[in-house]
Amino acid sequence: MADITLKINGISVTVPAGSTILDAANAAGIRIPTLCYLKDINAIGACRICVVEVKGARSLVASCVYPVTEGMEVITNSKKVLDSRRMTLELILSNHNRSCLSCVRSQNCELQKLALEYGVDASRFDGVKTETELDDTNPYLVRDNSKCILCRRCVAVCRHNQGAGVIGANERGFKTTIGSAFNLELKVVACIGCGQCTVVCPTGALVEKDDTSLVWDALADPSKHVVVAPAPSVRAQLGEEFGDAIGTNVEGKMVAALRSLGFDSVVDVDVAADITIMEEGTEFINRVKGGGVLPLITSCSPGWVKYCEHYYPEFIPNLSSCKSPQGMYGALMKSYYAEKMNLDPKDLFVVSIMPCTAKKFERTREGYRVDGLADIDAALTTRELARMIKKAGLVWSMLPEEEFDSIFGLATGAGHIFGATGGVMEAALRTVAEVLENKELPQVDYKEVRGMEGVKEAVYNIAGKDVRIAVVNGTANAGRLLDKIKAGEANYDFIEVMACPGGCVNGGGQPIHDAHTRASTDIKGLRAKALYDEDASSQYRKSHQSPVVKEIYAYLGEPGGHKAHHLLHTTYVARGK
């Protein structure tokens, strides 16, 4: 494909044919503001914030959709352009709920940032506002259309990345709102709860349901023993909320912060990830040897599980019966941990720190209860934990490096990589291969399953049998793969699915970055690298090697046994579309 040379603000830029003006500006280091644009997801030229002047054009053009041509001359910052952007911002704000002081996205809102840059305060177009209703009917998301700017990013990511498409534009003209068909509440549509809409929303129109008050109340209750544990990926993202570089591993500071908040015990969900491998690996081996339903499909991602229940219920028998690491952690806290600490399980309040809004739904599932007690009492996102740390007045830069409590705190490298797409599969292969071969194997790194491609495939010969595996991220990709299986076009033994593109490192509860950062930085790759680096430096890199895992199974009995099934396994239900 031929290159094209143009000038932007007098600077000569050469880009591939087919590029847009916005692409060329980014290549030249010139930032053009955007609101509706998301690289590879949403380029519709709707918000008109990215307009620029093109020599010879009759009017301003939207740079995110306007193709470059040879010799084109572009101006991105003329008075005409700046005045147009300012007026557009004023018009947007005239129909916007400007309660910025208490908005959870304050200081991380793309609209607020642009209003500051362009000096837009009170709007000269104030008048009637579109009537909206707050939707907080589900356990994981809040939709406040009074803050919506109709950018349609959420619509695009829900349809294209997640394959759900449960939201779109309703009504027309000034009455337009974003919502579900027939304005149904999110709790009654086939929303999978992944929260990808919250990380692409430029304002506070879509946010996770804040459960920090539940945790603050528990911490203040002297009758409660409050336990907390972060998921594998959280340590590689939390620091971004405090100015650390993307992908910085802040495990030590995170543990110190959690202790300073007043939790009675700070443990590691990564240990539960190791237990998940023991159970899921055993389940896979039993299905292979016993002629069980194959392919076995992982169940660690609650967004994926709900997607399967809604859209592909015929594959429910393929789902692993294992709870996610969150569920296993909670169940073990209220059994193994309670017994070790001589505590009544009813006095335990178990908190998880998750990369995912769907974990808030998962904790409410009937199958995530044991003997009448919920496994998890509160599931917070990485963002909610950051807000707690800030509210408590903890100075992030001054926090020491501390370690998890030893009773549930020594995870293997296999547990750490659960947060990246391919990590669950690689962790499982490390253990399954050694069990089936009945010997220690030098193979630790299964690099074929790593990377951010939507679908990855590999075949490994284990104990004389070719094991066909697939790794999928983004539920739209999962749907396409399942369609191929149904059509007889693909055949696998073991499949890992993560609902969010890139896996938990890009979960719906992770720190939010603006569209420019998302377009110019490999956020998913940097975050995943932090987990793989921790794996590479770990004392133990296979789940079955962990002394903590061995001690827990001295309590549980054998993997897949009666007690393990009672505590660590669950069931699923077919749901309507």
Confirm if 449 and 443 have CB atoms less than 8 A apart.
Answer: no
* pLDDT tens column, 301-343: 999 999 999 999 999 999 999 999 999 999 999 999 999 999 9
Q: SS in 3 state form for 252-295? A: HHHHHHHHHCCCCEECCHHHHHHHHHHHHHHHHHHHHHHCCCCC
Write down which residue in 174, 207, 240 finishes a domain: 207
* pLDDT tens column, 366-398: 999 999 999 999 999 999 999 999 999 999 999
Whether 150 is in a domain gets the answer: yes
Same domain, 248 and 329: yes
**Boundaries of domain holding 196:** 103-207
Q: Is the pLDDT of residue 127 over 90?
A: no
Contacts of 396 (CB under 8 A, 6+ apart): 239, 242, 243, 253, 257, 389
Q: Is the pLDDT of residue 286 over 70?
A: yes
* pLDDT tens column, 471-488: 999 999 999 999 999 999
Same domain, 169 and 119: yes
Average pLDDT over residues 251-278: 98
Same domain, 70 and 116: no
Question: Could you tell me the CATH number of the domain that includes residue 45?
Answer: 3.10.20.740
Q: How confident is the model at residue 275 (pLDDT cuts 50, 70, 90)?
A: very high
Whether 345 is in a domain gets the answer: yes
Same domain, 387 and 466: yes
pLDDT at 577: 79
Tokens (6 digits) for 88: 């557009």
Same domain, 158 and 217: no
Q: Is the pLDDT of residue 122 over 80?
A: no
d(CA 385, CA 400) in angstroms, rounded, equals: 17
Whether 573 is in a domain gets the answer: no
Average pLDDT over residues 233-241: 98
d(CA 453, CA 312) in angstroms, rounded, equals: 22
Write down which residue in 77, 94, 113 finishes a domain: 77
Question: Could you tell me the CATH number of the domain that includes residue 412?
Answer: 3.40.50.1780
DSSP 61: E
Same domain, 401 and 426: yes
Whether 98 is in a domain gets the answer: no
Distances (CA, A) of 120 to 55, 111, 371, 430, 521: 28, 10, 57, 56, 29
d(CA 118, CA 113) in angstroms, rounded, equals: 9
Q: SS in 3 state form for 229-263? A: EECHHHHHCHHHHHCCCCCCCCHHHHHHHHHHCCC
Same domain, 203 and 220: no
Q: How confident is the model at residue 257 (pLDDT cuts 50, 70, 90)?
A: very high
Same domain, 266 and 121: no
Whether 384 is in a domain gets the answer: yes
Same domain, 337 and 191: no
pLDDT at 126: 85
pLDDT at 121: 82
pLDDT at 1: 64
Write down which residue in 168, 183, 207 finishes a domain: 207
pLDDT at 82: 98
Whether 359 is in a domain gets the answer: yes
d(CA 575, CA 577) in angstroms, rounded, equals: 7
Q: Tell me the CB-side half-sphere exposure of residue 326, using CA atoms within 13 A.
A: 35
E strands, 429-562, where? 455-462, 465-473, 494-498
pLDDT at 576: 82
- Phi, psi angles (nearest 5°) of residue 364: -90, -5
Average pLDDT over residues 425-444: 95
Whether 90 is in a domain gets the answer: no
Average pLDDT over residues 23-42: 96
The H-or-E segment that residue 297 falls in is: strand 296-297
pLDDT at 510: 98
Q: Is the pLDDT of residue 443 over 90?
A: no
Q: How confident is the model at residue 124 (pLDDT cuts 50, 70, 90)?
A: confident
d(CA 531, CA 423) in angstroms, rounded, equals: 9
d(CA 478, CA 456) in angstroms, rounded, equals: 11
pLDDT, averaged across the chain: 96
Three-state DSSP state, 311: helix
Instruction: Evaluate the CA torsion angle 464, 466, 467, 471 in order and state its sign.
Output: positive
Same domain, 332 and 433: yes
Same domain, 454 and 469: yes
* pLDDT tens column, 195-225: 999 999 999 999 999 999 999 999 999 999 9
Same domain, 350 and 404: yes
* Burial of 206 (C-beta count, 10 Å sphere; 0-12/13-18/19+): buried
**Cα dihedral 216/221/223/227 (nearest 10):** 20
Average pLDDT over residues 92-121: 95
Question: Could you tell me the CATH number of the domain that includes residue 125?
Answer: 3.30.70.20
Distances (CA, A) of 111 to 88, 116, 532: 11, 9, 35
Whether 88 is in a domain gets the answer: no
Domain total in the chain: 3
Average pLDDT over residues 490-509: 98
